[in-house]
Structure 1
Amino acid sequence: MLDLLAAAGGSFDVETATRAYLDTLQGSARAQSDAYFEGGYWLILWGTVVSVLIDWLLLRFRLANAFRNLGERVSKRRWLVTGITGFLYLLAGSLAVLPWSIYADFYREKSYDLLDQSFGAWAGEWAIDLAITLIVAPLIIILVYAVIRRAPRTWWLWATGVIGAFLTVGMILGPVFIAPLFNTYTEMEQGPLREKIEAVAAQYDIPAEHIYVFDQSKQHKRISANVSGLGPTIRISLNDNLLERTSEEEILAVMGHEMGHYKLNHVWWIVGIMLSLFALGLFVTSRIAPWLIARHGQRWGVRDIADPASLPVLAICMAVWMFLMTPATNSLIRWAESHADAFGLDAAREPDGFAKVAMRLSEYRKIEPGPLEEALFFDHPSGATRVRMAMQWKADHVENPQVVVPEAGYLDSE
């Protein structure tokens, strides 16, 4: 249960109300949350280092050259040579990075009690993801190298268009063909809760013909929901953790937030800006990669940038670029999340439900970072920022608002 207290003198103080929520996370729970999230800062760096190191090894030991030579022995068609080279590169790289993936995505998650899967189940999903990559990514590589050959000066621009096209197709087909490979999706049962979700959607003309529940509890305890797809594949989805671990007011707050992403066209904004950053990275790569190949290409067995054996060179350039752009990408996503938060508060009108959800996310997100820390490393507003936003909304929109003092341990009670 949550206690309701009127603030002194009958007034509602936003900071007092915010503090009442934040102070429920104390001791070892807060220390573990902080340690997990702060450790993720280093994962960004070390993940880039591992990626660059593996690509360098593929060049140093002329494996990319060997992949290209094998392709040329199989066929004289350049697109097929490129496809074979790309397939072998992706397979070798994925296997080489597997120990790091096991540590970062399985062992570390298990050590913080954030993963419920056995290693066998985790490895099975890793294999499915690899299979999808080996089907789709070589097609992208074939097209990218085709434009490199045909437009050697402006290939980076055309390559961005290729990637954008694949992203669009992925957004359309992903909810129908990819997501069900990892989870089972079933229509949400008819009832009062579904009717309330549909009512929120109806206020903003958001399609709600399909509301799915997916069984993410088999993987972890995190709460999650989304509005995904485009055109005929649009659907609202929420995981079973959200239904089982949270109250109705929390569920409505989450759904209002997710509907905000849809109504505010955040998918297109984020894709557009991310593609712009990617295009700039490819432009930089189009200038640096030829210089690297001119200096070291003979040693690596790479002829020029149009040679598919240059794949690791391009990958190194882009890995470093995206690492340097991490604060920019985090800020972009955080901007969208903050606007969806504001939309969700207006749509669901559940400020305390929203605050409770923000606190639940502290299981794996540091709740109170410093301003610079939040700007650099958070791709969502911090829990403190979100609770404060909810309490400010409450002060501005609720008649005679009350300060909610959550009981100790409520985060683990549902």
Structure 2
Amino acid sequence: MKKCSYKPIIFAVIFLLLFIVLARYTEHRNLESLKGVTYSVTVNGKDINLPQVSDKAIAYKKSNLNIWTISFILTFLIPIFFLATGLSKGIRNFIERRTRRFFIISGVYFIIFTLINFLITLPLEFYSSFIQPHNFGLSNQTLVKWLTDSLKSVLLSSVTGALFIWFPYYVIRKKEKLWWLYMGFLSIPIIFFMTFVSPFYIDPIFNKYEDIKDKNLKQKIEVQLKKANLEGTDVYQVNKSVDTKEMNAYMTGVSKSKRIVLWDTTINNLTNEETLGVLAHEMGHYVMGHVWKSIILGGVLIIFVLYLTNKSVLYIIKLSKGKLGFNRISDIAALPLILLVLNFYMFLSNPITNTVSRRMEIEADRFELELTQNTEATITSTIKLHEGSLALPYPGKLFEVWYYSHPPYLERVEFAKDYAPWEKGEPLMYEKYFNKE
């Protein structure tokens, strides 16, 4: 029998530490190169200036980098804490002394695990989502609203997790050698289902949907929806100005649950033409099937990640010789170990998922330009959206590859400037999606 070694674990730890050091180093180098930098583009003979990279934006990025570092470390340290201290097996033993029903054992364990995790991360979460945005003038949220939303979030995740955590463990117990394959395939319809029901039952817990108050804008949106063959799509606005000064718009749901959502900050800070451009981008994601493509790709990736997770967890259990308080992956006390290893492989898969995502974003940008044929509005809306979030023109390359689901905004501006086939009488790439009536 092949003897287990600690070398793979040591290598993984060294890799993660080196990644933190290299990511921070490359980001600080990038920040130094951006100080005081200005950019401009010319569209139809008109110069459009990008805002100068401000000291405030650089300070905000440095603050975010520190938050990322701590969050990254906690992602791995918290599961290790549960395992190394014996807390995980202690929670399991505490529950098993009171009941032998696994549905209850797994559910109560998950609630306790989630609440402890919430308490450990609470200081960082409070700083990153409340203190920091206020310090940089990005938030309008009151402390009461922040506390309410945070409690809603932890209660929702605790209750739903407690109700369903038994299922993957049931699969593990019944199909211990191939559970990763079953769960990977099952994840695809589950994600489809959640994408469908989320706009109806989950999103309203945190947001109040209202009809678009600007009737002129709503009429223009309906015309654009018809042009994109999306007639009948519900369009709503959300009063996010009570929480933030940042802007956003998105298309959510699938089939009959699909809807377009505009933050009121977007409506208030963009012109109608700029808003239509932002919405055209979101329509592009839906029309070109980016939602279901992402779900299927994610499902395939989950199968591979769960396979590696299964192999690694079994390896560590064998290596630990029962010192962690469990000898089987099907033990609920093994949950922190599963999450620890899963987090590692999900981290390694980031470059793949984000590369695909960035390509989809460029496709959606191209769709937006072809649908609206308004290059200037596309560029100015992109600038305003990113300027309102204190975003930088581009990150360091390592951070872009590993963490950017969207292309850097300077790259998107340059793309918009150069892409205008309609001006040259050339065919449009996505003309087949348009309603020509």
Shorter chain as normaliser: what TM range? 0.7 to 0.9
Q: Does residue 1:262 correspond to 2:286, yes or no?
A: yes
- Of 304, 329, 348, which residue of structure 1 is paired with 2:328? 304
Which of the residues 357, 365, 371 maps onto 2:391?
A: 365
Distance 1:171 1:92 in 2: 28
Match of 1:243 among 267, 285, 298: 267
Deviates more, 1:127-136 or 1:366-375: 366-375
Q: 1:46 to 1:329 in 2, by over 3 A?
A: farther
Q: Is the 8 A contact 1:52 1:316 kept in 2?
A: yes
Distance 1:51 1:376 in 2: 16
Tell me what 1:387 maps to. 413
1:152-172 superposed Cα distances (whole Å, 9 cap, x missing partner): 111112222343343222211
- 1:285 is displaced (CA, Å) by 0.9
Which residues in structure 2 correspond to 1:249-398 (within 5 Å)?
A: 249-296=273-320, 298-360=322-384, 361-362=386-387, 363-369=389-395, 374-394=400-420, 396-398=421-423
Query: Structure 1 stretch 373-382 or stretch 138-147: which is displaced more?
Result: 373-382
Structure 1 residues 280 and 399: alpha-carbon distance in aligned structure 2, compared to 1, 3 A threshold: closer
49-58 vs 87-96, greater mean Cα deviation? 87-96
Identical columns (%): 25
CA contact (8 A) 2:249 2:261 kept: yes
- Following the alignment from structure 1 to structure 2, what is the Cα–Cα distance between the partners of residues 144 and 75? 20
Tell me by how many angstroms 1:289 deviates. 0.7
| Per-residue CA distance 1:212-260 (angstroms, 9 max, x = gap) | 1111111111211112112322211111011111101101100100100
The structural deviation recorded for 1:94 is 1.8
Given candidates 176, 181, 184, the residue that maps to 1:157 is: 181
Superposition deviation, residue 376 in structure 1: 3.8
User: 1:51–1:97: 8 Å Cα contact kept in structure 2?
Assistant: no
- SS of structure 2 residue aligned to 1:213: strand
Residue 130 of structure 1: how far off its partner (Å): 0.6
User: Kindly tell me: are residues 20 and 110 of structure 1, through their superposed partners in 2, closer, same or farther at Cα, counting changes over 3 Å?
Assistant: farther
| In structure 2, C-alpha distance between the alignment counterparts of 1:198 and 1:71, rounded to whole Å | 55
Cα 1:73/1:140, change in 2 over 3 Å: same
Amino acid at match of 1:25: P
For 2:29, the equivalent position in structure 1 comes to none
Cα 1:273–1:37, aligned 2, differ >3 Å: closer, same or farther? Answer: farther
Question: Aligned runs of 1:174-189 on 2, under 5 Å?
Answer: 174-189=198-213
Question: 1:320–1:44: structure 2 CA closer, same or farther, 3 Å change rule?
Answer: farther
In 2, the alpha carbon distance for the partners of 1:266 and 1:319 equals 25
Structure 1 unaligned residues grouped into runs of 5+: 1-13, 401-414
CA RMSD of aligned residues (A): 2.5
1:360-380, Cα deviation, whole Å (9 max, x unpaired): 113332114466654344211
Q: Does 1:79 align with 2:103?
A: yes
C-alpha distance in structure 1 between counterparts of 2:104 and 2:406, whole Å: 42
State the alpha-carbon separation in 1 of the partners of residues 92 and 263 from structure 2: 44
Contact preservation (8 Å) 1:48, 1:320: no
SS in 2 for 1:367: coil
Specify which of 78, 81, 89 is matched with residue 57 of structure 1. Answer: 81
The residue type equivalent to 2:288 in the other structure is: L
1:195, distance to aligned residue in structure 2 (A): 1.6
Does residue 145 of the first structure (1) align with residue 169 of the second (2)? Answer: yes
Deviates more, 1:52-61 or 1:189-198: 189-198
Task: Report how many residues are paired.
Answer: 384
- Normalised to the residue count of structure 2, the TM-score between the two structures is 0.81
| Contact map agreement 1:21 1:359 (CA 8 A) in 2 | no
Aligned to 1:325, what secondary structure does the other structure show? Answer: helix
SS of aligned partner of 1:321: helix
Aligned pair in 2 of structure 1 residues 63, 207: CA closer, same or farther (>3 Å)? farther
The offset of 1:114, in angstroms, is: 2.0
The question of whether the paired residues in 1 share the 8 Å contact of 2:326 and 2:333 is answered with yes
1:74 partner SS: coil
> In the TM superposition, what is the alpha-carbon distance from 1:140 to its structure 2 partner?
3.7
Separation in structure 2 between the aligned mates of residue 371 and residue 20 of structure 1, nearest angstrom: 31
TM score, norm. by length of structure 1: 0.85
Indicate the SS of the match to 1:113. coil
Q: Work out the CA distance in 2 between the residues paired with 1:188 and 1:334.
A: 30
Task: Say if 1:374 and 1:81 are closer, same or farther in 2 by CA, change over 3 A.
Answer: closer
Aligned to 1:105: 129
1:380 counterpart letter in structure 2: H
SS in 2 for 1:226: strand
Q: Give me the whole-angstrom Cα distance separating, in 1, the residues matched to 2:44 and 2:100.
A: 67
How far residue 175 of structure 1 moved from its aligned partner, in angstroms, is: 1.0
Q: Deviations over 1:259-279 (max 9, x none)?
A: 001101111111222222222
Shift of the alpha carbon at 1:100? 2.1
